[in-house]
Structure 1
Amino acid sequence: MTAVFNHTIIASTDRERSAAWYRDFLEAQDAPSWGLFTNLLIGAGVLLQFAEPPVEIQMQHYAFLVDDEHFDRAYGKLVERGIEHWADPRRRQPDRWNTDHGGRGVYVMDPAGHGIELLTRPYL
């Protein structure tokens, strides 16, 4: 069996706030939570675990592949709510999405300061 991605821990300053943001933006499902973790489930059974580490949080990059309809809903929320977003990871093209790799993509920061990419076509 080849390796399959199962879960990741996303460091946050407020795990409930971060989980709520991802639940809304990614249309994620609640999953049983335990201990230090607030958990959400996304496609292919991948678990996102939110925790509040006792250290300074370093920015991470998380990219999520969605279909065109999901992208439209998520992008609509960014615009409607006035959330800063960019067409590029260096944040030089504000208030736009890109058409790289034959699809659409957008970059936004989550509540803990992580760089989130939403794309409609995989790079490979």
Structure 2
Amino acid sequence: MEISLNHTIVYCHDMIASARFYEKIFGFEFLKVWENFAVVKVNKTLSLDFRDKGTFTAQHYAFKVSEQQFDKILARIQQNNIAFGPGPENTSANEINHHYEGRGVYFKDPNQHLLEIITTDYILD
């Protein structure tokens, strides 16, 4: 069996608001609140489990998406007036990148986690 990531905990200030943000922007499914987590299904094998915490270090989460998904997610980012940019140090230029003959964009969630969507895998030599 191939190993796959099943879930990860995403610390946040408001787990319900965070789960709803990912549902609205990415189209993920907010399943339910389970114990101390707001569970969001990313795909058939991965969930993001949002958990409230007073202080935490912002993290980076990158999602590979299809060209059509990229267009839809970028449109939702723009409709919700979320700043975005072509790189992790430039999240407010309202531009995308075209690395590795694909498209990519960076933006932040309400908890300042750095989010990235890409259509092509990075080529690591």
Q: TM over 0.5, yes or no?
A: yes
Does the 8 A contact of 2:20 with 2:30 survive in 1? no
Aligned match of 2:29: 29
Q: CA deviation at 1:32?
A: 4.0
Taking a change above 3 Å as real, the CA distance of residues 20 and 96 of structure 1, as seen in their structure-2 partners, is: same
RMSD: 1.5
Q: CA deviation at 1:29?
A: 1.3
> Within 2, Cα distance between the matches of 1:7 and 1:48?
6
> Within 1, Cα distance between the matches of 2:87 and 2:74?
14
What aligned pairs does 1:1-124 form with structure 2 within 5 A after superposition? 1-53=1-53, 55-91=54-90, 94-124=93-123
Q: CA deviation at 1:93?
A: 6.4
> Within 1, Cα distance between the matches of 2:44 and 2:98?
25
- Going by fraction, where is strand more abundant, 1 or 2? 2
> Within 2, Cα distance between the matches of 1:45 and 1:88?
28
> Within 2, Cα distance between the matches of 1:30 and 1:109?
19
> Within 2, Cα distance between the matches of 1:75 and 1:39?
23
Unpaired segments ≥5 residues, structure 2: none
Q: Which amino acid aligns with 2:113?
A: H
> Within 1, Cα distance between the matches of 2:26 and 2:20?
10
Unpaired segments ≥5 residues, structure 1: none
> Within 2, Cα distance between the matches of 1:21 and 1:92?
18
Taking a change above 3 Å as real, the CA distance of residues 81 and 70 of structure 1, as seen in their structure-2 partners, is: same
**Displacement over 4 Å in runs of 4+:** none
State percent identity of aligned pairs. 28
> Within 2, Cα distance between the matches of 1:112 and 1:71?
22
Does the 8 A contact of 2:91 with 2:106 survive in 1? no
Instruction: Give the number of aligned pairs.
Output: 123
> Within 1, Cα distance between the matches of 2:48 and 2:91?
29
